Structure 1
């Protein structure tokens, strides 16, 4: 448990250092004004994506889930699945096991090998890897692709769980997007870190203390436990 907690807190700190996690006031896709913003697209160098992949790999190892391969939904999941497969293959816990990966195209290719899938054949227990879950659209598409191939979606692995309910302020959904995905497809969602871990950083870092009240209020209004 200690290793898992350390991985989560180290990831939040790393995201802050890379400018991926920022505090202030941000209008997010839902239209809400959020006191923090997380943009995994800013992991955009070889060094940062390599480090990110190690965090993904460690979170998956810490989860204890059994798996056979990774699947990255287009487009963000493509580099994530590729880099994480590399990180997993080099992880001591994998004992040298080579980890296959695949991803999909947005457009069907009508020449060459054709189809929408690239990479290893989908088989066995498949981990879907993405940055965050908002509407759950990419997860739905991924689950369908995996099941149509005769494989089993085993879990979804994401960078951050915002632990946030959807909907208008006067009609908030009872569950978060992550909880809805887990309930809908009957598979676990593993995150490297969550809003709870961000709050942990704010609780223990005096330089960031000024943001704690705003994040806590936002979590109280929109969050799930």
Structure 2
């Protein structure tokens, strides 16, 4: 008997796999149920498991290790202790207090993280976890899994470009248990029939064309944007962060034929004059059929916001097709923008931003 077989039998004694009739979270009735959480209650087995999982990969390729919450957290912790790879912790939900972090630990952008999962079925939990870690600038290419249920999740993730390293699959587990007279041929047959009929199928994401989106849209402003996209075969918005009127108009002239919209910060112009700046800018927008997006990031109460939008030297309401606005003032604070498109500011890239607070 191999060490790996012997180890599986040790784990089996903890009740990690049960056979019978079990209703899964998906509502499907399964002839077997896998729960690896009891492994965390046996330190010796958990340590052995961590070493078996570490043997599946090359430690030198990774800077960090992280377990998919919650069952894989003790596994990742044990692997971290054995390998001295720094551990980061992924929460299922960000805290509503304190730092409100989703990813806990010390890490840097660009570091390579080894992801640990207990069981892979559809890969859904991994697909939910991976983007949230990658949003922090951490790279994920490899995933180690204790048990592959062989229902398509591994293949699906591999198609997405991830490398899956599994310690066991359910076929291998059944063979070892049958060899040791722990399950019957009938139970194996039921499991095989179940696997054949319950492979997780993923429909490829259907992306609508702009023409289809236009046909389905009932918003006049959305239709206007889509019509420009279709006509110009473009979805580009150019950012005109310049300081003079000449630079703004020259830039608009240059990129105008190829863009859907021009994004301005009109209040940073040092020589702004409505007649000399806005009127020729509107002519260029008409000439090249692009929209004007003023990135004003409005953030005030409704009445004040309306005055900022319509009055002052910029008279934004008279020329902007779209504006940006924070939504902290509530829905009614946006009423003044009924005749233009509004892009809501829900997050910012600046360090220490409070938009997610």
Tell me if both proteins adopt one fold, taking TM over 0.5 as the criterion: yes
SS in structure 1 of the partner of residue 114 of structure 2: strand
Q: Does 1:196 pair with 2:192?
A: no
- Structure-to-structure mapping, 1:6-45, within 5 angstroms: 6-7=3-4, 9-45=5-41
Question: How far is the alpha carbon of 1:127 from its aligned partner?
Answer: 0.9
Secondary structure in 1 aligned to 2:162? Answer: coil
Partners of 1:74 and 1:35 lie apart in 2 by: 25
Higher relative contact order (CA 8 A, sep 6+): 1
Q: Does 1:79 align with 2:74?
A: yes
Please say which of residues 52-61 and 12-21 is displaced more in the overlay.
Answer: 52-61
Match among 42, 46, 59 for residue 52 of structure 1: 46
Q: How many residue pairs are counted as aligned between the two chains?
A: 197
Is contact 2:68–2:116 with CA below 8 Å preserved after alignment? yes
SS in structure 1 of the partner of residue 119 of structure 2: coil
Alignment CA distance shift 1:43-1:68 (3 Å): same
**Deviation digits for residues 23-63 of structure 1 (CA, Å, limit 9, x no counterpart):** 22222223333222111123341x25x52343243233234
- TM-score under structure 1 length normalisation: 0.73
Give the Cα separation in 2 of the matches to 1:209 and 1:74.
33
1:51-107 deviation per Cα after TM superposition (whole angstroms, max 9, x unaligned): 234324323323447322211233333323212212x33xxxxxxxx2101012233
1-structure distance, mates of 2:79, 2:56: 14
Q: Quick check: 2:146–2:166 contact (8 Å CA) kept in 1?
A: yes
SS of corresponding position for 1:131: strand
Quick check: 1:77–1:103 contact (8 Å CA) kept in 2? no
Q: Do the aligned residues in 2 keep the contact of 1:60 with 1:190 (CA within 8 Å)?
A: no
Deviating more after overlay: 195-204 vs 58-67: 58-67
- Residue 62 of structure 2 is matched in structure 1 by 67
**1:215 maps to what in 2?**
191
What is the distance in 1 between the residues matched to 2:148 and 2:156?
Answer: 12
Name which of structure 1's ranges 103-112 and 194-203 shifts more when overlaid on structure 2.
Answer: 103-112
1:6 Cα deviation after fit: 4.0
The answer to which of 10-19 and 210-219 deviates more is 210-219
1:137 paired to 2:124: yes
Q: Which runs of 5+ in 2 are unaligned?
A: 201-357
The equivalent of 1:206 in structure 2 is 181
Residues 66 and 76 of structure 2 are in contact (CA less than 8 Å); yes or no, is this contact kept in structure 1?
Answer: yes
Aligned with 1:25: secondary structure?
strand
Gapped regions of structure 1 (runs ≥ 5): 90-97, 165-175
For residues 96 and 191 of structure 2, what CA distance do their matches in structure 1 show? Answer: 48
